[in-house]
Structure 1
């Protein structure tokens, strides 16, 4: 007899990490978002991503966790890779609870399967928001020529600059780059030296590259931003190479980053630096359906 997978939902972050932590750490590259977001919630509080209560879920087979998700309202649900049966079970569980779900993100096959299951159960219309590719750093190659200037780790004196640039970045890439407000983002990154500025010889910042805190041996580069009028001069590549080098020097086993597949420039740049594809992810938005109505 085939056992139908049963999802266990909780609002208790500590319990979720106690039960699912080993599973998430077992594939730190593929689970980078789950690892970094739950680490941020643990360090900076449950409402750093918004006023809603975070939600967590896990799936166990014979006492072993095989899948997990989180959601920080009003954001999308973000899941690890699921089998078809696990996907159907999750859609059924959430629909039966009357869950209002604005969207879903996971590896490409899982995301498309869930979007169809959710449409079938709720009538919600899935729409692709963004397709992203996860990259892992191989052999680091410094892009040449290196632009004039130097890298510098951002400090509290750079806070207003970071807030402004993060806001511009979010406006440019769309809401999928805005899980956290710009001020909270700047404060969090400053607290552990998580942004490097590339500045001119005169000390004027011209680009930035951020990194997540190290969790389970992985560090993810995000975001990388250069104001439009300063692009095409090599600043973003230099800043990205520097934070990648620093992440390796800090002992990261995995140095990762996501790119928007619709942006061929950034995909080509990161591959020149030494990043290699790992997996593709898709984020869906859901139009009005019947769940929760």
Structure 2
């Protein structure tokens, strides 16, 4: 089947074009929907020199959207993010980016779409592919409350941006280590985007009984009725006390009570985090991840 790729450089235009797809599968489309919503609100906090963002809708022969992708990551290597789409569309997208002169060193999104995209990119440019991680998208419908933990959850303050940024920066490397991997993991937020999330009220800290911050739980506000929890991080010296479970449960309950569907991503090779989320009632829906595309030179 032939497919058409419709590119956009305006988030509002993309959201209008992709709405049938995003509304039909709001949980599976959570990353694209929530990130694009940030841009639509004017929250473009990418550093100077970052490439211009783009979005693409994949249409079938009848003009219906059957997939989507975006390239909005603020920091190198600026990986595109691909929703599930037909294999032929994934190969077409790889060829189109190759023809546009866009180098792709890492691609993130849904399996097997990212594997098909990576294979076509390598066919065109050479190189090798290696899996960076495999994660699962989880959703909760019936929250299971964890054991009571000393302390309390509170909203992060603007003067705590450096603390939160440090924990966000440590999240990726620590998660990889817990999963038994040693691989590069780019920053998930810039300082500017972290500050914006704090000011929006989307970052919360767990204080222990002495009022010391010991863990962070952030979330992305609802898009198409779906909120996404993350990142969740506890520094090593504070682990094993239930802070992460308490923070995730409190944020999840708040979002569910507000009428949102709630989801999150977890590394399937990290038994610590997946165990926490499963005990809270989160259940896996789909497999996602990342593929690193090595140079063919």
TM-score, length basis structure 1: 0.90
Q: Does 1:77 align with 2:71?
A: no
Shift of 1:125: 1.7
Q: Deviations over 1:124-163 (max 9, x none)?
A: 321111111110012111112x221111122224333222
Long gaps (5+) in structure 1: none
Moved more, 156-165 or 263-272: 156-165
Alignment partner of 1:105 out of 108, 123, 145: 108
Alignment partner of 2:2 out of 1, 4, 13: 4
Q: Deviations over 1:45-92 (max 9, x none)?
A: 445376210021112232322211100254111111111221222222
Taking the aligned partners of 1:200 and 1:87, their CA distance within structure 2 comes to 47
Q: Does 1:148 align with 2:163?
A: no
Moved more, 90-99 or 259-268: 90-99
Counterpart in the other structure of 1:230: 238
Counterpart in the other structure of 2:59: 60
Long gaps (5+) in structure 2: 177-183
Taking the aligned partners of 1:12 and 1:184, their CA distance within structure 2 comes to 21
Q: Does 1:219 align with 2:221?
A: no
Q: Name the count of aligned residue pairs.
A: 285
Counterpart in the other structure of 1:139: 142
Q: Deviations over 1:247-275 (max 9, x none)?
A: 112221x2011111121111111000010
Are the equivalent residues in 2 in contact too, given 1:47–1:53 (CA < 8 A)?
no
Moved more, 114-123 or 158-167: 158-167
Taking the aligned partners of 2:208 and 2:263, their CA distance within structure 1 comes to 27
Q: What does 1:155-166 correspond to in 2, within 5 Å?
A: 155-166=157-168
Moved more, 67-76 or 166-175: 166-175
Q: Deviations over 1:110-132 (max 9, x none)?
A: 12222212212221321111111
Alignment partner of 2:218 out of 210, 215, 225: 210
Counterpart in the other structure of 1:256: 263
Counterpart in the other structure of 1:30: 28
Are the equivalent residues in 2 in contact too, given 1:192–1:213 (CA < 8 A)?
no
Q: What does 1:121-136 correspond to in 2, within 5 Å?
A: 121-136=124-139
RMSD, aligned CA: 2.0
Question: Residues 228, 33 of structure 1: CA spacing in aligned structure 2 closer, same or farther, 3 A cutoff?
Answer: same
Counterpart in the other structure of 1:283: 290
Taking the aligned partners of 1:49 and 1:101, their CA distance within structure 2 comes to 19
